[in-house]
Structure 1
Amino acid sequence: MDQQRTASRPAGHVLVEALIEQGVTDVFGVPGESYLAVLDGFHEHRDRIRFIGCRQEGGAAFMAEAQGKLTGRPGICFVTRGPGATNASIGLHTAFQDSTPMILFIGQVASDQRDREAFQEVDYRQMFGPGTLGMAKWVGEVQDPHRLPEYINRAFHTALQGRPGPVVLVLPEDMLTQLTDAPVLPRAKPAVAWPAPADLLELQARLEAAQRPFVIVGGGGWTAEACAALQDFAHAWRLPVGCAFRFQDLYDNRDPMYAGDVGIGINPALAQRIADADLILAIGPRLGEMTTGGYTLLQAPRPAQQLVHIHAGPEELGRVYAADLMIQSSMSAAALALQQMHPTGGVQELPWLDWTRDAHADYQRNQQATPVAPMDLAAVMQQLDRLLPAESIFTNGAGNYSGWLHRFHRYTALHQGGRTQLAPTSGAMGYGFPAAVAASLLQSQRWVVNIAGDGDFLMTGQEMATAMAHGARRLLCLVVDNGSYGTIRMHQEREYPGRVSGSDLHNPDFAALARAYGWLAFSAARTEEVEPALREAIAAQRPTLIHLKLPVDVSTSRTTLASIRDAALRRQAT
């Protein structure tokens, strides 16, 4: 964009020009009267940027969050004031907890109507208030159209720098229609923090003194180059590597250093290995509740293991855990620095070679499952792995059904085209399907698979219309239908055995519903019925839904649910 441009045009058009300058080619949203000038700007520049109209703001925000995960640049979402913003808040919260760069643009009432509780008026600084427990890193409101490029520049830098996360920009309706000759600013290039040399020397000394080290990777800000550098580091030191909750695509699950995912339903052998470790090297994760087993796998605030915590955000270091060594660094810089570090005595002198080999063997054993009839979800995940390319993108929302995906699918490390796992660490139901739609539209050359629960899918399933409207192709959705909010049912059986309440579901015929939207659709009640449907869907290369019908007690597994129920009954008896 020519920085000397002085032609006056509506601020709404300037905003679109600024997005184009930032490299944005697609944005998600639901149109609203509060930002009509921006929509006109999208029409003006429709050959350079696409506005993907969605069916509900929650779905649009989830799509933008997925865009941020896939590209490493801020995902973009536009919604109108009041109801639009409140609907979109779930995607904003997901981006915050997942450390995903995202910008939510919200239309606002006209400036001369502020503070009167005008139609759909909300104070977004109060609603999304920035902070370590808020929903956004920063909330700004643009009053002066001439300063609009400044605000957009700040929004991109804030979303990308330090711990990545979401930003909110509020756009008064009258400001967007005013003329301005303000030039847009160049593409944001975030500042990068590198590890201090003295900290790297201390880390090397702690590693060389360890007997049973373990690496946990996670968090935002990773690139394909950084993931490759991390794998080089792990190989140079023969370190066992586990991935934090729903960050399984940061390390190749087929690699001999891989030990499994550190999250909900952790392999008991892996949990014991972490407990037995004498040094934990946490590279990127916040070490939140899900990854630490409710802050017990690593005891807060002072773990039994030595802890080295590398994180991009200074506010996170020392927040929960009193680490022995804290290093503030972006993941791209940290991984490249670690790649240059090698053991002084050579690989064969390291005392933990058997420890690492056994950790991977534990992971491989956990990949083996006892067959379940009539529908074996472990076998279905293995069918998907066998039939689809390794770089396929897998998405899910929240629910016990996701445990089969996390355990039995083997993720490849962050692909050159972006992430291979899109899943909410915030536990947001309804996330997986819009994320899959976004991935299919943004990266149409890759296969995208959404695994959804029945309760999960119906929260955002209307975005099937968005997929069809905008030409999605290689998109599969498997709906696991057991007629229940399975996770809640599991907790009820544990805490209040025999007193299930509110968690039963009355579901539609999901295949018929998908066909109504123009999707290809199949139903399957037995394992052997799934593979033919998958093969036909892959051959058709069009959006396809497969309705998997399961008994209610497969929400976890028959064995697990029965053991939970029996344990709760024994506890009540005593």
Structure 2
Amino acid sequence: MLASAHPRTGAEIIVDALRANGLTMAFGVPGESYLAVLEAMRASGGFDFITCRQEGGAAMMADAAGRLTGKPGVCFVTRGPGATNAASGLHVAMQDSTPLLLFVGQVERGFRGREAFQELDYRETFAGLAKWAVEIDDPARIPELISRAIRTATQGRPGPVVVALPEDMLTEIATVADAAAVVPAETWPGLADMAQLQKLLWAAKRPIALVGGGRWSAKAVQSLARFAERFKLPVSVTFRRQMLFPADHPSYAGEFGIGPNPALLARVTEADLVLLIGGRLGEMPSQGYTVLEVPSPRQTLVHVHADPLELGRVYQPALAINASPNAFAAALEGVQPPNRIAWEDDTPLAHADYLAWSEAAAEHPGAVQMDEVVQTLRALPADAVICNGAGNYATWIHRFHRFRAYGSQAAPTSGSMGYGVPAAVAAKRLFPDREVVAFAGDGCFLMTGQELATAAQYGLAIVVVVVDNGQYGTIRMHQEREYPGAPFGTALENPDFAALARAYGAAGFTVSERGAFAAAFAEARAAGRPALIHVKLDPEAISPTTTLSAIRAKALAARG
């Protein structure tokens, strides 16, 4: 039942609209352009506003909240510089299909068009970074436009929406009722679609499922796992989507991301049917658009996606199914396996290949061995949340940690550095009873590491692992491939990260010897406050499979 109309300020209408949709947590940096909203949050009671140290970190926190809950993450920033700082998190949400609402302060309505202080045209500025950008001029339209913003962020392919708030609109009084809470529409597959899918599966000899994208839930993951068990179907997750299928399931074949298991790459390449559920199979998981030919794959492609515009956008599928992952996973319960499953003997081999790949690696230069560091995390509960930013250090996480539950991973498929620490702050604020660990490279950490102060301020006992190799390692790796023996602009002189953590009020530890990480990690978990472990990694140890010297030598040899 709708609440009756009553007079309120624009700011109060916004806060009430968010509360009506169960959105009572927001991340942001305060600004004078939306002081009225901060006052409305305070006066309403029960609204959790997390004060952050930089708008990019705040937007990344909102992205993490969106991907871990399925509800839009909410971020408030001030106009101009605040808005442009937040663009980094907005880009993550767009590429990663994460529902997010970015509220941005705006100059007074009568000042627009004069290039007033910190004025921006947000529709133009964020046109390519958001699903929709809107500026609310009339407070009476707030319930309508906030409802539309939530629907836009959550329906079809999820993504970010930017809502600009003129400062004087926020204090204007309007008499208007709240809109009903938004329930995002699920797109269900047709009976003919599911019948055709069953027919294609029955005809297949070497099928594999690839799982990715947004709009999943724990229930959908469980339904997919049951389907895979009934069909004895090998299932792989795409780049940084490992929480979408349990690693201990007998059908799990591993992550199909950057530098995948060669055995998994061969399985996907040689498959006669690829069932792509929820994802786009973009540049990273497609290995540069080589695994499936564009536009017509040689494999029979069944593509399932919530947004019809993604079906056939790059790959022309044999069967296109317009359905959200939740609805499609539920519909899989009615699909029956053939009497004889042609591939059933190969699926245990696919899982065994994954287990072997995630267990062993060649020893790399230096005392600290990253596979041993990451394998220590297996002692964590299944619902522990592992966060990371971007950099070569993350390849060890994706290869050696075994994700077992939905909602246990926050990592940017967009490849954005600086994501891990803000994501961990959001995860711990959302789930205070769960353990949260963030990984960051040395360059990655110093982009948003100030949010460790946010963790300390709110008493969020996250564990941050900083992998320090004294360089922008990924860029150095590419540099050695393209310009061997000529490093330039990639070296870093770093602070004592453990001492920096202690200055923030966190516990600080340093690991520089083999076997020392486990004890430091145990102390960090028990600290009862934010903790940081400074891991000193040899610069040569650039990935689990190669070194900088080997990359340089190969590049030089290719040049004759």
TM-score (norm 2): 0.98
1:170-227 residue CA offsets vs partner (Å, 9 max, x unmatched) = 1111100101121211211011110011111111100000000000000000011000
Alpha carbons 1:441, 1:471 under 8 Å: kept: no
3-state SS of the aligned residue for 1:394? strand
- Aligned counterpart for 2:108 among listed residues 86, 107, 110: 110
Shift of residue 552, structure 1, vs aligned partner: 1.0
Alpha carbons 2:396, 2:543 under 8 Å: kept: no
2:161 equivalent in structure 1: 167
Shift of residue 9, structure 1, vs aligned partner: 2.1
1:62 equivalent in structure 2: 60
Q: Which amino acid is the alignment partner of residue 172 of structure 1?
A: P
1: distance between equivalents of 2:181 and 2:46?
16
Q: Which amino acid is the alignment partner of residue 246 of structure 1?
A: R
Q: Give ranges in structure 1 of 5+ residues lacking alignment.
A: none
Shift of residue 342, structure 1, vs aligned partner: 1.4
1:480-505 residue CA offsets vs partner (Å, 9 max, x unmatched) = 00000000010011111000010100
2:368 corresponds to 1:375? yes
After TM superposition, the runs of 4+ consecutive aligned structure 1 residues lying more than 3 A away are 557-560
- Aligned counterpart for 1:420 among listed residues 405, 408, 411: 408
3-state SS of the aligned residue for 1:326? strand
2:348 corresponds to 1:357? yes
Q: Which amino acid is the alignment partner of residue 440 of structure 1?
A: K
Shift of residue 558, structure 1, vs aligned partner: 8.0
2:142 corresponds to 1:148? yes
2: distance between equivalents of 1:562 and 1:350?
47
Shift of residue 395, structure 1, vs aligned partner: 0.5
Alpha carbons 1:74, 1:159 under 8 Å: kept: yes
2:382 corresponds to 1:390? yes
3-state SS of the aligned residue for 2:288? coil
Shift of residue 557, structure 1, vs aligned partner: 5.2
2:216 equivalent in structure 1: 222
Q: Which amino acid is the alignment partner of residue 488 of structure 1?
A: I
Q: Equivalent residues in 2 for 1:448-459 (5 A)?
A: 448-459=436-447
Closer, same or farther: CA 407–508 of 1 in aligned 2, 3 Å: same
Q: Equivalent residues in 2 for 1:113-512 (5 A)?
A: 113-129=111-127, 134-345=128-339, 349-367=340-358, 368-372=360-364, 373-386=366-379, 388-414=380-406, 419-473=407-461, 475-512=462-499
2:516 equivalent in structure 1: 529
2: distance between equivalents of 1:339 and 1:282?
17
Closer, same or farther: CA 188–558 of 1 in aligned 2, 3 Å: closer
1: distance between equivalents of 2:546 and 2:315?
36
Q: Which amino acid is the alignment partner of residue 106 of structure 2?
A: Q
Shift of residue 2, structure 1, vs aligned partner: 5.8
Alignment coverage as a number of residue pairs: 558
3-state SS of the aligned residue for 1:449? strand
Alpha carbons 1:486, 1:556 under 8 Å: kept: no
2: distance between equivalents of 1:362 and 1:528?
26
Q: Which amino acid is the alignment partner of residue 381 of structure 1?
A: V
2: distance between equivalents of 1:317 and 1:2?
37
2:543 equivalent in structure 1: 556
TM-score (norm 1): 0.96
2: distance between equivalents of 1:69 and 1:311?
17
Shift of residue 246, structure 1, vs aligned partner: 0.6
2: distance between equivalents of 1:212 and 1:526?
45
3-state SS of the aligned residue for 1:459? helix
Alpha carbons 1:243, 1:261 under 8 Å: kept: yes
3-state SS of the aligned residue for 2:105? strand
Shift of residue 539, structure 1, vs aligned partner: 2.1
Q: Which amino acid is the alignment partner of residue 109 of structure 2?
A: S
Q: Which amino acid is the alignment partner of residue 116 of structure 2?
A: A
Alpha carbons 2:362, 2:545 under 8 Å: kept: no
3-state SS of the aligned residue for 1:260? strand
Alpha carbons 1:396, 1:422 under 8 Å: kept: yes
Shift of residue 357, structure 1, vs aligned partner: 1.4
1: distance between equivalents of 2:168 and 2:437?
42
1: distance between equivalents of 2:231 and 2:2?
49
Shift of residue 254, structure 1, vs aligned partner: 1.0
Tell which deviates more after alignment, 365-374 or 193-202.
365-374
Closer, same or farther: CA 172–425 of 1 in aligned 2, 3 Å: same
Shift of residue 556, structure 1, vs aligned partner: 2.2
1: distance between equivalents of 2:234 and 2:559?
41
Shift of residue 18, structure 1, vs aligned partner: 1.0
Q: Which amino acid is the alignment partner of residue 413 of structure 2?
A: T
2: distance between equivalents of 1:358 and 1:277?
15
2: distance between equivalents of 1:14 and 1:201?
47
Shift of residue 560, structure 1, vs aligned partner: 3.5
Shift of residue 559, structure 1, vs aligned partner: 3.6
2: distance between equivalents of 1:340 and 1:459?
48
2: distance between equivalents of 1:195 and 1:2?
32
1: distance between equivalents of 2:283 and 2:527?
42
3-state SS of the aligned residue for 1:553? coil
1:21 equivalent in structure 2: 20
1:72 equivalent in structure 2: 70
Alpha carbons 1:145, 1:175 under 8 Å: kept: yes
1: distance between equivalents of 2:338 and 2:68?
37
